[in-house]
Amino acid sequence: MHTSTFRLSELVARFGGELIGDDIVISYVAPLDGAGVGALSFLANPKYRNQLADTQAEAVIVPAAAKDATDRPRIVAKDPYLYFAQVSSLLNPPQRLAVGVHPSAMVAASAQLGVNVAIAANAVVGEGVVLGDNTEIFAGAVIGDGVIIGAGSRVYGNVTIYHGCVLGKRCTVHSGAVIGADGFGLAWTGQDWFKIPQIGRVVIGDDVEVGANTTIDRGAMADTIIEDGAKLDNQIQIAHNCVIGKHTAIAGCVGIAGSTRIGAYCTVGGAAMFVGHIEICDKVHIAGGTLVSKSITKPGAYAGNYPMAPRDEWLKNAAHIRHLDALATRVKALERQLSNKNEE
């Protein structure tokens, strides 16, 4: 059910762009092939341009190159995908909790709650916690002692934030995420493992999003740091003492070993893996599934995937790769022999 409606001219007044055609009313956004009455759709990828002819959307957002590709009412935008996202946010505001503390929630007497804070059923807020104005703590979340959460942040159900961690303003932490668990710090005694106390924190900046079931370990001595505007997908592992730079986006199932530093404005594809104690400079783009085994000092796009192949073919190729060093040695020896013959 669509309860909010806007005229195209109202959208242009808010977000810019050029309106061509009738100033109609729209009530929701939808893809070109799934739109109907009241829908605003968009063309961001040229390969879907042929869908413009058949779409049932009442209006569309198009780039300048496609402004004459349809007769439907349209908004011409520099970045149609971003424009669609802005309109969708306007039409689909997030669910808001009722302000106040649910009777089943447990809130320590020493916790400091800002104005318009909402704490849902069975949530736990520990001693000395500070919750900024308009913060929302959803059902079953556990906020450990001494945690600080900035204004306007949302912590969804069953999130656990360990003692002493810090979240900035307007952060979103999705269900099942664990922030501040112990890093994997162990010393071998000669007979067994001795656990190293993990006494750092996790410090998260403003406007950070943490996906469902993502884990961010606390530092061993210094802090694990997630800088402003970083976006973390679901099921990511960030080990102790890592630093994730501002506005870096990391897709699901990425694993980042301890003391790795990833710069600002980077992107990391799903299931990429980082060894520990390396540094990635700003504006690096890592393809999905890549194993990052050394530092990267030059911005750009990087990939390191072994191509998929039929199993028997892959096994044969893998066997050859195991002998690659020996083959290279033989080639160098042959090159020296040829060079010596030419000199004779």
Residue type, 84: F
Is residue 161 within 8 Å of 147, Cβ to Cβ?
A: yes
Residue type, 21: G
Structure tokens at 3: 């309860």
Residues 6+ apart with CB under 8 A from 222: 200, 241
Strand pairing report for 74-76 and 18-20:
antiparallel
> Which of 240, 247, 277, 285 is the catalytic position?
240
Count other Cβ atoms within 10 Å, centred on residue 152: 19
Count other Cβ atoms within 10 Å, centred on residue 25: 14
Residues 6+ apart with CB under 8 A from 232: 208, 209, 210, 211, 214, 216, 226, 238, 244, 250
| Separation between Cα atoms, residue 69 and residue 311, nearest integer Å | 46
**Does residue 102 have an active-site annotation?**
no
Structure tokens at 344: 């004779």
| Separation between Cα atoms, residue 104 and residue 214, nearest integer Å | 27
Best CA proximity match to 180, nearest among 93, 238, 134: 238
Dihedral (CA of 24, 29, 31, 33) sign = negative
Own/partner pairs, 89-96, CB within 8 angstroms, 24+ separation: 90/4, 90/6, 90/11, 90/14, 91/2, 91/4, 91/6, 91/27, 91/28, 91/29, 94/154, 96/136
Best CA proximity match to 277, nearest among 266, 263, 293: 293
Q: Give the residue ranges of DSSP H helices in the chain.
A: 8-15, 80-91, 311-322, 324-343
Q: Which residues are catalytic?
A: 240
